[in-house]
Structure 1
Amino acid sequence: MKNLQELPELGDSINYLCLEHAVIEQNDTAIVAIQKEGRTPIPIAAMTCLLLGLGTSVTHAAIRTICENGCMAIWCGEHGERFYASGVGETRSAKNLLIQAKACMDQERHLEIAKRMYQIRFPNMKTDGLTLQQLRGMEGIRVRKAYELVSKTTGVRWKKRSYKAEDWDWADPVNQALSEANALLYGLCHAAVVSLGYSPGLGFIHTRKQLSFVYDVADFYKVETTIPAAFEAVRELTSGNDQKKLVRMKCRTYFANAHILSCVARDLTWMLQGETEEEQDNGLRVGTLWDDKMDTAFGGRNYAGSEVEK
């Protein structure tokens, strides 16, 4: 029987699968997607994230199988571009969530974590003597240079990152492609964050958004994945091509080659818990109770016979 306290090994899983216009049913211990082209078995036990897009319906038995196999089910818009809701992920442990919450609410620890996040972008540089404002400036320069470099290598003209959330057509093709690629990366990072037992909303650089931590994590990987994917998609765009489909295909290749899910698990462990991962509370079969004297007390027992201090 699977131990639901265990944190998932994301590196052993397929990144994600996006389904549209399909009926999803249980098929023995797996699931099957039924479309007009036929029936496609899905090895749900080997997956981390299933994106349920436009025109999908899923049976109760299929959802139960998805969750029991530790796969995150995400209901999203067309091509995974909008996040609407998610199902239960693989872990039932609150260990990582508590570590994250304590760090987020402690100003000194919060600053330390934020600097570690920048150190992931600049692995050969010590961040101890730099202010957060200096690090933000350095990150801005790094991203600007990345845009300029990929523009030069692909031949796609680049002015600046510019878009309007309320007017999609206002942006030029490369900015639209960047928005599409980033949306896919956010969905993948969101699935990883929740599957690992963290909160999407408790960010350290981004704040006051329900996906602040997702944005924090996704920013680690944009320069190596979504930026080149978007520019390459625009370069290959012709009058008969679908830009969204091109972006999606490019992103899938870049995400797979970068092993994004493995990177998220590794980077968050180092960032929040130090150089080595702390021992997991995998052996706990029941929850614990908060205690003002002992930190925690055993759950799953009746304390009616306990001595009451006067």
Structure 2
Amino acid sequence: MTQTVGSRALSSPRELTRVADRSSFIYLERCIVHRDANAITAEDAEGTTHIPAATIGTLLLGPGTRITHQAMSVLGECGAAVAWVGENAVRYYAGGRALTRSSALAEAQAVAWANQRTRLDVARAMYRLRFPDEDPSGLTRRGLLGREGDRVKDCYRKNSERTGVRWRKRQYVPGDFTAGDTVNQAITAAAQCMYGITHAVVAALGCSPALGFVHSGHELSFVLDVADLYKTEIGIPLAFDIAAESDEDPGPRTRRALRDRIHQLGLLDRCVTDIKSLLLPSGTQASEITVADSDIDRVSLQSDHDQLLPSGTNYGDEAGW
């Protein structure tokens, strides 16, 4: 495609909120990443490639990459997540700003998380999204964990039978990607990529990555929750397919195959829809949450009885203040 990327107009907040239209992730290595207007450039021995920043969901920076302050600035403005990754494994380190100008979805998440009953309701809803053939109503948290463990084990077994790839057990050693066999390396690469992608969506929607409903105690608890929604449907089957093809370079091959699969399934759009359906009260319309239909930041002040008052006003003369 021939295009003068530097001539692109600055994207409005309304355009930036279209997370679903973005590339799920772009992987770069052994290059210098810089900025040219509203694009980032990747310069290596073969030349310079322009990438419109607003089209990136997650930018994965592999070994040998250097990135300038200006490039990080435009990525932050566009809400693109950025991760520095190793030679074989993928790990998420940093992210950009939210794409939405509203805190409504983050507040809905906090309200659901703060109450033990609603927190369990969301955990059950997550299980229902993963395994629609089962009804988790009435299951305790321990029951959900046990049922999820059984389903994941069954997923490993079925995909082993489907592909002919021998399966022993899940083996992952933090910091040592090659400790596992080929299929375990592929599962790890797929999982870590999904963490980066879902972190980008969570951040773009303005949600808190830390307030999880299944996972807890980690800065990325909610990211892990969301990524797991697609583990048995996408990540594990794809990893077994990669292992069945060859033992060579399972990490890079898994990333490329996962990127294609995500595009085919329209996963980013689905991920946005799933998060909203999990967090919003029943009957709430998505349009009530997506306040980025204006280029103006909307800031309100909280008052009594859930009343919101316009900011920028001095209420010192009001009776009772």
TM-score scaled by length of structure 1: 0.88
Matches within 5 A, 1:137-286: 137-165=146-174, 168-238=177-247, 241-273=248-280, 274=282, 276-277=285-286, 279-280=288-289, 281-282=291-292, 285-286=297-298
Gap regions ≥5 residues in structure 1: none
2:69 equivalent among 60, 63, 81? 60
SS of 1:15's equivalent in the other structure is strand
SS at match of 1:32: strand
The answer to whether 1:309 aligns with 2:306 is: no
Check 1:213–1:250 CA distance in 2 against 1; reply closer, same or farther (3 A cut).
Answer: same
Residues 294/112 of structure 1: CA separation in 2 closer, same or farther (3 Å cut): closer
Task: Tell me, yes or no, if the aligned pair for 2:16 and 2:54 is still in contact at 8 Å.
Answer: no
CA distance in 2, matches of 1:83, 1:188: 9
The residue type paired with residue 301 of structure 1 is T
Greater length-normalized contact order (CA 8 Å, ≥ 6 residues apart): 2
The answer as to 2:99 corresponding to 1:90 is: yes
| 1:297 and 2:306 correspond | no
SS of equivalent to 2:42: strand
Amino acid at match of 2:213: F
1:297 Cα shift?
2.1
Residue 268 of structure 1: CA displacement?
Answer: 0.9
Q: Can you list the C-alpha shifts for 1:219-275, whole angstroms capped at 9, x where unaligned? A: 11011221122212222224xx32222222222222222322112101111111136
CA distance in 1, matches of 2:11, 2:102: 14
Give the match for residue 113 of structure 1: 122
Identity, % of aligned positions: 37
Looking at structure 2, the residues matched to 235 and 264 of structure 1 have their Cα atoms a distance apart, in angstroms, of 28
Q: CA deviation at 1:5?
A: 7.9
**8 Å CA contact 1:24, 1:32 repeated in 2:** yes
Paired amino acid for 2:137: D
Q: Tell me the SS of whatever aligns to 1:84.
A: coil
Which range moves more in the overlay, 6-15 or 100-109?
Answer: 6-15
C-alpha change, 1:138 and 1:250, in structure 2 (3 Å) is same
What is the rounded CA distance, in whole Å, between the counterparts of 2:135 and 2:233 in structure 1? 22
Determine helix, strand or coil for the equivalent of 2:286.
coil
Which of 121, 131, 136 matches 1:127? 136
Query: Do the aligned partners of 1:81 and 1:183 also contact (CA within 8 Å) in 2?
Result: yes
Instruction: Give the C-alpha shift of residue 6 in structure 1.
Output: 8.3
Tell me the secondary structure at the aligned position of residue 83 of structure 1. Answer: coil
Relative to structure 1, the CA distance from residue 145 to residue 250 in structure 2 (aligned partners, 3 Å threshold; closer, same or farther) is same
Alignment partner of 1:29 is 2:38 = yes
What amino acid sits opposite 1:39 in the alignment?
T
Is this contact kept in 1: 2:89–2:188, CA < 8 A?
no
Aligned mates of 1:298, 1:31 — CA distance in 2: 38
Separation in structure 2 between the aligned mates of residue 249 and residue 294 of structure 1, nearest angstrom: 48
Counterpart Cα distance in 1 of 2:11 and 2:50 = 22
Task: Tell whether the 8 Å contact from 1:200 to 1:212 is kept in structure 2 after alignment.
Answer: yes
* Larger displacement relative to structure 2 (271-280 or 197-206): 271-280
Please list the CA deviations of residues 156-176 of structure 1 after superposition, one character each: whole Å capped at 9, or x if unmatched.
Answer: 101222333365444333222
- Do the aligned partners of residues 67 and 223 (structure 1) sit closer, same or farther apart at CA in structure 2, a change above 3 Å counting? same
Asked if 1:73 is matched to 2:82, the reply is yes
Say which is worse superposed, 13-22 or 158-167, in terms of deviation: 158-167
Local SS of the residue matching 2:94 = strand
What CA distance in whole angstroms lies between the structure 2 residues aligned with 1:268 and 1:295? 26
How far residue 299 of structure 1 moved from its aligned partner, in angstroms, is 1.2
Per-residue CA distance 1:265-297 (angstroms, 9 max, x = gap): 011111111364251334563312222445432
Q: Which amino acid aligns with 2:311?
A: G
